[in-house]
Amino acid sequence: MRGRPSSVGLAAPPQTIVRPDSWVLGVGLAALAIPTVFSLAGQEWSRESGAHGPIVLALGGWLVWRQLPELRKEFHPGSLATTFATLSVALLIYVFGRAYDFLTLETGGLYGAGVALLHSRFGLVGLRRIWFPVLYLAFAIPTPHAVLDTITAPLKHLVTYLATSGLAVLGLPVARQGVTIVVGQYQLFVADACSGLNSLVGLTAISLLYVYLMRGPSLAYSLLLTALTVPVAVAANIIRVALLVIVTYVFGEEVGQSFVHFAAGLVLFSSALLLIFALDRALQAIGFRRKSADAP
């Protein structure tokens, strides 16, 4: 007599574990991100100081995405209590920034919500594995103008002084008062956009990305290149200001404020990046090697 097949010992087919709270967080994060992105595009991303924002956002997202297959293999969801605490603080910051039109806090709150989402999916171990992409995305948070002015103001005075001193040695009839340059019959004010120091954050972000892709996630080496970015930016800005002064003196103010002004900015940024790359090669040539223990 044939009996029914026994189901004892048969294992259920393996299934991917999906946490509903992660999907809820993802949808909520997207809903928060849409108005913030529109605000960033209309305000910060149209300025020189924030032009790096969309690039950082795209590259940072790509850096996280390329590591997702590895993270999924070691799927360890984070503590719901930690996720909830992080998300609660992030939402409070976001709401406050949104309500009072403080874009830095609004974007910072959105960033915190994104970190909470990653923690929910991959836990602290996963966040530690992708520490550089997570920190790199923080460069998309716009720096408050008051803070940026405080940082760049002394550098702007230094750039103006060194540029005019060098031009005077070359024989140009140039003088300065603060950040105002007088050359011949022309008077030029070295504004934030003219000095180019507002691009310091963007230059630092691109330099760190280069270090990460070429040298790996070394914290010590990243800090070293970041420290070198400041003098590189100052040197490049001295060249830019001097170039604009010479063009204005020779061809007139109309030419100096035309496409030459924009072209000088491109030359500044390109030359600064090339100098950063050259410094990296020089450091490697003299034997600087990162330690594997550097990475957090």
> 216 with 289: CB under 8 angstroms?
no
Question: Which residue, 103, 111, 183, 180, is CA-closest to 144?
Answer: 103
User: Distance between the two ends of the chain, CA-based, in angstroms?
Assistant: 67
Q: How far apart are CA 141 and CA 88, in angstroms?
A: 19
Is residue 240 among the annotated active site residues? yes
Is residue 194 among the annotated active site residues? yes
Q: Which of 72, 240, 281, 290 is catalytic?
A: 240
Q: Which residues does 77 contact at the CB level (< 8 Å), separation at least 6? A: 17, 19, 22, 120, 121, 122, 123
Q: Which residues does 218 contact at the CB level (< 8 Å), separation at least 6? A: 211, 290, 291, 294, 295
> 112 with 120: CB under 8 angstroms?
no
Q: Letter for the amino acid at 241?
A: V
Q: Which of 2, 194, 281, 290 is catalytic?
A: 194
Phi, psi of 189 (to 5 degrees): -105, 120
Active site residues: 194, 240
